[in-house]
């Protein structure tokens, strides 16, 4: 019988800035407001693909856990061995699973370290601030502005014909650098400029998402739905007026309601009770404002087999990144969008040994490939959408990554 691999989790005596611990090579991250998890080194990694990718991911993670001898003196959500996952939007593309060799976490007044192997506790060294900046030259992208507006017009026509209610269309741009693109400096800029978002990195996919697809902790599930967007001007008085107009916008409220309902319907079979607020609030970010609703639920005790993988399989893709009805929206995306999204708009985050975890939707992000990066933006299209306004919204959503790479 093969021997088990030790996995040790212990308290840290000091609260270190998590992103300052990361090396430049293949870091993993899930940080919001200075709290979360970072990791480095790779104990094991694999890819999954196809319609059963969430179940296949669970099977692989369970097999890895069987080989561990876990010593955990910290306990709680996010401690012990952690699986970082970045799932594809479409089942046709690859999803990536990574188990880091070393993980450091922070939540409230508690900090901890987990490492895999029989070696002593790793020493933690704060990495000196970057001296070099990424210098990016941007290509035109898969669609010109006029071509993308034409796609939006086609989508509006289909919706007005009654074929579907909403569809989310994405576009991409590729940037190239004279040197290898370093993920750590991008993460730190995103975390500084957008502290209320989740800054993530998994296998070169890096970004700052404002949308929490799933938090599962001790039988409580939360999902933050964002749909309906307006750009900020930087003038506080003007932005307050814009926020009020967003909260009254029939087009944005319609788009938001579709997204909220898709999440609530997906969670309902697993929960004894769900809480869906009657109206959304306005979430203010540095560059845009979103209509937001936090949907919460209590998992039924009798459903002991339900874990993050189970719920992800039902939640993804939500109306916030696909549309409604889901099947018709997915078909229209495949027909007219013209790009492969890869892991953009797919679930990204972490899952622990208990099956709990936090995963967002991979938005405001880019995929690094050595000296190039492909960034994405998407917009929800409904019957009242205006192509020129949707173009402006897509450009606003590209700002976080463009500025982090500037």
Mean pLDDT across 195-209: 96
pLDDT reported for residue 25: 82
Is residue 386 within 8 Å of residue 233, measured between CB atoms? no
Model confidence pLDDT, tens digit, residues 275-292: 999 999 999 988 889 999
In whole numbers, what is the pLDDT of the chain averaged over residues? 92
pLDDT reported for residue 32: 96
Is residue 98 within 8 Å of residue 83, measured between CB atoms? yes
Provide the 10 A C-beta neighbour count for residue 195. Answer: 15
pLDDT reported for residue 179: 87
DSSP 355: S
Task: State whether CATH 3.40.630.30 applies to domain 5-119+135-405.
Answer: no
If you search the block for the tokens 């704060």, which residue do you land on? 126
Roughly how many angstroms between the first and final C-alpha of the chain, as a whole number? 53
Model confidence pLDDT, tens digit, residues 48-72: 999 999 999 999 999 999 999 999 9
Is residue 361 within 8 Å of residue 378, measured between CB atoms? no
Rounded Cα–Cα distance for residues 291 and 293 (Å): 7
Q: Return the beta strands (E) in 73-178 as ranges.
A: 82-86, 95-99, 102-107, 110-116, 136-138, 166-177
Q: Which residues contact 249 (CB under 8 A, 6 or more apart)?
A: 228, 230
Q: Where are the domains of the chain?
A: 5-119+135-405
Confidence of residue 132 (pLDDT cuts 50, 70, 90): low
């Amino acid at each position: 019988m093969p021997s088990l691999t030790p996995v040790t989790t212990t308290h840290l005596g000091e609260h270190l800035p998590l992103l300052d611990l990361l090396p430049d090579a293949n870091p993993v991250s899930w940080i919001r407001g200075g709290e979360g998890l970072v990791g480095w080194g790779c104990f094991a990694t694999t890819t999954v693909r196809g319609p059963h990718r969430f179940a296949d991911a669970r099977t692989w993670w369970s097999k890895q856990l069987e080989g561990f001898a876990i010593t955990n003196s910290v306990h709680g959500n996010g401690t012990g061995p952690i699986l970082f996952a970045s799932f594809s939007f479409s089942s046709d593309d690859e999803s990536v699973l990574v188990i880091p060799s070393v993980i450091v976490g922070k939540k409230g007044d508690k900090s901890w370290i987990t490492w895999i192997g029989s070696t002593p506790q790793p020493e933690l060294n704060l990495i000196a601030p970057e001296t070099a900046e990424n210098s990016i030259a941007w290509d035109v992208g898969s669609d010109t502005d006029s071509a993308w507006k034409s796609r939006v017009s086609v989508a509006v026509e289909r919706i007005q014909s009654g074929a579907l209610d909403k569809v989310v269309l994405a576009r991409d741009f590729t940037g190239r650098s004279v040197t290898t693109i370093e993920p750590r400096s991008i993460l730190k800029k995103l975390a500084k400029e957008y502290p209320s978002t989740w800054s993530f990195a998994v296998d070169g996919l890096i970004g700052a998402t404002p949308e929490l697809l799933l938090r599962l902790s001790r039988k409580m599930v939360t999902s933050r739905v964002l749909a309906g967007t307006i750009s900020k001007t930087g003038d506080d008085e003007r932005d307050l007026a814009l926020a009020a107009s967003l909260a009254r916008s029939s087009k944005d409220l319609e788009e938001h309601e579709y997204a909220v309902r898709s999440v609530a319907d997906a969670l309902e079979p697993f929960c004894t009770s769900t809480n869906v607020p009657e109206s959304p609030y306005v979430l203010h970010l540095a560059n845009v404002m979103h209509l937001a609703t936090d949907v919460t639920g209590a998992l039924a005790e009798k459903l002991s087999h339900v874990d993050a993988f189970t719920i992800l399989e039902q939640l993804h893709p939500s109306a916030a990144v696909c549309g409604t009805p889901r099947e018709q929206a997915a078909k229209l995306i495949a027909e007219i969008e013209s790009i492969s999204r890869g892991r953009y708009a797919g679930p990204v985050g972490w899952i622990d040994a208990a099956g709990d975890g936090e995963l967002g939707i991979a938005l405001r992000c880019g995929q690094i490939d050595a000296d190039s990066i492909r960034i994405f933006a998407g917009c929800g299209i409904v019957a009242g959408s205006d192509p020129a306004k949707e173009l402006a919204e897509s450009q606003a959503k590209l700002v976080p990554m463009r500025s982090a790479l500037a």
